[in-house]
Amino acid sequence: MTNQSKRALTAEDLQQINVYSDPQFAPDGSAYAFVSTKANDDDDYTSQLFVQSLKNKDARQWTFDKAKNSHPRFSPDGKKLIFQSNRSGTPQLWLLQTDGGEARQLTSFKHGALNPAFSKDGSSIIFSAPLEKNDDATDQHEQSSDERQKEQNEKSKQPLVINQLNYKSDASGLLDHKHMQIVLYNMGNDTFEQLTSAETDHNFEDISPDGNYILFSANLHEDRDYELTSDLHLLNVATKDITTLTNGKGQYGNARFSPDGAKIACFGHEFAFQGATLNDLYVFDAASGKSSCLSKLWDFQLGDVMIGDTRLGQSENGPVWSKDGQHLYFLGTDSGATGLYQADLNGKLNELYNDNNHVFGFSLHDGVFILGISTPSDPGNFYQMTESQLLQLTDANREFLKNVQLSEPEALTFTADDNWKIHGWLLRPYGFDENKKYPLILEVHGGPHAMYGRTFFYELQLLAAKGYVVLYTNPRGSHGYGQTFVDACREDYGGQDYSDLMSAVDYVLDTHDFIYRNRLGVTGGSYGGFMTNWIIGHTDRFKAAVTQRCISNWLSFYGVSDIGYFFTKWELGKNLLEDPAKLWEFSPLKYAENIDTPLLIVHGEKDLRCPIEQSEQLFVTLKHMKKDVEFVRFPDANHELSRSGKPEMRISRLNHITRWFDEHLRI
């Protein structure tokens, strides 16, 4: 029996979690800045900036307002800190003197200013700003809350004229005529200069050491509305001339100049396996544009694709150059964990840190690293790593973890029906007693090209706290097991991926005698919602199911999702008019008549990735047949409800899920 001196986790505990992100070394390496995000009393989140000394380990809070402060970046001399904050009502750039004093607002752009970075000499700041075609970056004025409300009211009375294919985004809603442009702020004369102007989004990547070139990624093609490519470009700051480094056939980003400015490193790929293509690591010669791929012999995903529901901030994935320009450092995703890796310019790979957990970010200074690490029983802390030791620097959730019992997962490896090896984990319930039996819930991740692993996952821990055995696996289609594995579910949704999941259930039932064989539940979101629908349409072995932000009908998904017009072909092999019969075969709605499992449907009303009509079709069909089904709609919530939605909505969602399983699996 497990130790019950600590209490069980509750849905409401979500408001107690501190989430750390974005560690950034100070230029002299004596300290680092980071962001701490937590739910506040206004049903939103507050993000504050902290700076921690590496000498006395003192972490000082530098912002205190009830706002979202993020993206801290030190000036090269360490005397200033630029950051992004919505304290004035719109995300703007603010400047702090590191020796003390109040923050000063630098920008007052109508639609905000984002993601600042200092030039290498500290004379200017480069940032991104959403601008309309005729906007003047030198004459921007932030609206008051009344002005913003008046403009929104006026827009709500006007029709929206749409003439492009890509006209909506789950993150941004219906798109208007604004595009992300790159702006340079001159610190000396207090002036702004717009550097880009094409009617497309420009993603700032880096500035050359001499300050003469801006590196950015964008699709500048005339047919960009029909393409998902993103090229790397060099912009001459003086002449505004643009040189394109890549060939227009791929998607490139995370790009950075070497310390001497002669080379550029980046992640990228050319869609060899569509959305299931592993990233490669490229190095370009900045002058000639010639490139080499360092990762030809590697077979794992570069970057962090660990899936979770707690991370509330961006962090560094790499590639980051060593000081001498001879090595690159980056995160990599492998076998349910993420680690820190090093590669030389010949492609020799070295694993610097992988302790079977989740490295979610890092910062580097003279061979010393700050690592952000999460484990299944820790939402995340920062650690200092040198060649000789790993030293914990923060204790973000000490009081919470002191009082709440979390479950440590048991790793599983089993054989699918075609002899493929499948990886997964099992969480035992709170107060586990090996002499008792417990119901089991199978969790299916989204993506499908994501990865469950050794990170903190609130929903999984909550189900264990409520008395359930929780099974979560990486069926084929998941990242972390090589290119062949991640590609294996495409054009086979509901095939071997479904078989992998059923093999997982069979395996744990045969090897763990504390599970009720007739009290099984299943749930998942997005692709996991699709798979939940598919499972209960093809077997009646589950006694209860919860489908979240699901797909039920690929025929309609093609035209209503913000990604449907390309994702459908990527994943199923055909677009709507190419083979509607095939799309219908892949649609769980076709098999609704077979569904006898009590089903709870959970969906956000502003979800544009898997629009709520997918759940509406399923609910009406099942209800019309008088099946046991319930529909919970969350207003003002998009596809990210479970991860970054309003705290009260997230808590309500969790309580509905556990309620449904309690009603049907406790009998």
For residue 343, list its beta bridge partners: 328, 349
Could you say which of 21, 639, 642, 664 is catalytic?
Answer: 639
Contact assessment for residue 473 and residue 504, using Cβ atoms and an 8 Å cutoff: yes
Positive or negative CA dihedral for 279, 165, 314, 213?
positive
Please identify which of the residues 526, 561, 587, 615 carries the catalytic annotation. Answer: 526
State the burial class of residue 287 (Cβ atoms within 10 Å of its Cβ: 0-12, 13-18, 19+). exposed
Q: With H, G, I as helix, E, B as strand and everything else as coil, classify residue 363.
A: strand
Residue 365 annotated to the active site: no
Least Cα distance to 504 among 438, 413, 437 occurs for 413
| E strands present in 388-449 | 390-392, 404-405, 410-415, 421-427, 438-444
What is the layout of strands, in order, in the sheet containing 69-74?
69-74, 80-85, 92-97, 104-105
Strand 337-344 and strand 349-353: the pairing is antiparallel
Q: Which residues does 614 contact at the CB level (< 8 Å), separation at least 6? A: 550, 551, 552, 553, 556, 557, 560, 603
Contact predicate 521/541, CB 8 Å: no
3-state secondary structure of 583: helix
Give me the count of residues in the chain: 667
Query: Per the structure block, which two tokens stand in for 220?
Result: 């500048």
Name the residue with tokens 């003469």. 212
- Gap between the Cα atoms of 34 and 381, Å rounded: 11
- H or E segment and range at residue 381: strand 378-385
* DSSP bridge partners of 93: 84
Full DSSP string of 145-204: HHHHHHHHHHHHTSPPP--SS--EETTTEE--S-EEEEEEEETTTTEEEE---SSS--EE
DSSP category for residue 123: S
Task: Assess whether 624 carries a catalytic annotation.
Answer: no
Q: What count of other Cβ atoms lies within 10 Å of the Cβ of residue 277? A: 20
Sequence-distant (≥ 6) Cβ neighbours of residue 148 within 8 angstroms = 89, 90
Catalytic residues: 526, 639
